Structure formats: C-alpha cells, structure tokens
Amino acid sequence: MNKLKIMGILNITPDSFSDGGKYRDTESAVARAREMVDEGVDIIDVGGYSTRPAGYTEISEQEEIARVKPVIEAIKDFGVEISIDTFRSNVARAAMEAGATMINDQWRGTYDEAIFDVSAEFNAPIFLMHNNDHGTYEDVVEDMIKELQESVDLALQHGVKKENIWLDPGIGFVKTRQEELEVMRRLDELVAVGYPVLLATSRKRMVRELIEGESKADERDTATAATTIHGMEKGVKAVRVHNVGLNRELSDAYVKLQEDLDG
C-alpha cells in the first residue's frame, strides 16, 4: 500500500463553513501553511472563494485573485505542491503564474470549460469534483461516475494529459446523507475507473452525523480520520483535510501496519 497524499485546506475566505476568517490575511495564511508543512502535508489547497453549498458570498474574479495570489507567491518555495481551489479559468491561470502547480475544480469543468486549457497549458494536474445542478439520480454511484467520465473526456479533448486527471466523489455536494453513504460504500467502483481518487469529507455534514450530539466543525477531526481509513481501504490516493497532522500520522501508521501484516 502506497503512502497516502494529504491535501491540507487553506481557506483565504471570511465565510468557509469550518475556518472562515482564520486565515484572511497573508501573514496568518503563510503561518498556517508552514504548520502544515511541518505536519507532513503533500499538497496545500489554497482557496479564495468559499465552496460551502450554501451561505457563501459571491465575489468577483479580481477579488478571488487578490486573496490567493499573494499567499501562493509567499509559499511557492515551501517544497510542496500547491493547488488552487477554484472553478474559474482566469483565477486558475493567475494562480499558476503565481506558483501554483495543481487545480482543484469543484465544478469539474462544467462552470468554465476553459479551465481545462489552463491545466493543459501549464501541464498541471486537475482534480475534478463531482457536482451538478440537479441532484437527482437513478443510481447515485453510476450517475456520478457517468458525469465524471464526461468531464474526463472533455479534459482529454482540451489536451489535459490522462496522468494529470484526478477524481473526487463530491461528498457534501448535491447528495443526501443516504446517497453519500452509498458513495462511501462503493468508493472502490470510482477507484476502478482508473484515475486516482481524492476523498474530501473533512468536518462535513456526513462526518458530523457520525458523532452523537452536536459538534462544532473543528471537533470533527477524529471522525474525519475514520473516513480517511475507510477511503484508504477502498483505494483512494489522497484526502483533503483541515487537520493535517492527525491524518498524516494515522494514514502512515495504517500503511505500516499493512506492510507488517503482509510480512
């Protein structure tokens, strides 16, 4: 079993559901990035536009760029990959020019198809997260795979290299709790499509409901780590999390255990 890639979340926003406002200025964001590097992060995911399903504030492309660009420029020499969490091609391009190396698109290219051109031009890996504007399914897993495959085909048509494509099942987006559980149960079917899979459950509703009683967002990290292990068992290659250190330690220990058990 290969070492799991840990993508650490760095939101430069006032309205993200978990840590909105904590890293709004460049200095605090860079300090958090340094902490994540010390904790063993592989990818720092910089976002300037909240991706919460509801309750966010619309901002212009210019504002989004102004939030993320100075942070990316400040951390580009930290020795880890930097992904830009955006669905806008102009923001992705500005981030690439500032030093980002990957694109994380929560709309899988359906909002702004030109984002594939940016990925191809910069030879940048792109994460395609399952999302849509209807949220209705005959079979949530089969329909999810079909829609992601459509985005993969489009990416390839735009010149994105096959080895640069990642898939994300989109936990927390356009799915009921039961549909999310079905996706988690059948993650191996998404893995079997043949592209590396990123799992992003950190502190989300599905994780909250694993815990008895009410919990604040930053109290859900242990439950999140349980989904990390489940994902590893199903074959995912990376997880997107807030608590880098916990997931790094747990995933590394799990890999070591499997190696020891295999002799």
Q: Which of 94, 89, 11, 92 is nearest to 50 (CA)?
A: 11
Q: Which of 214, 135, 209, 128 is nearest to 176 (CA)?
A: 135
- Residue 186 annotated to the active site: no
Q: Looking at the DSSP assignment, which residues form a beta bridge with residue 7?
A: 43, 240
* Active-site annotation holder among 93, 175, 204, 237: 204
- Residue 204 annotated to the active site: yes
For residues 207 and 19, what is the distance between their CA atoms, to the nearest angstrom?
16
CB atoms within 10 A of CB 200: 27
* Active-site annotation holder among 5, 175, 237, 240: 240
For residues 204 and 213, what is the distance between their CA atoms, to the nearest angstrom?
15
Q: Which of 213, 206, 212, 214 is nearest to 230 (CA)?
A: 206
With tokens 């559901």, the residue in question is 17
CB atoms within 10 A of CB 76: 14
CA torsion, ordered 82, 87, 89, 93, to nearest 10 deg: -10
CA torsion, ordered 53, 54, 56, 62, to nearest 10 deg: 50
Q: Active-site residues: which are they?
A: 204, 240
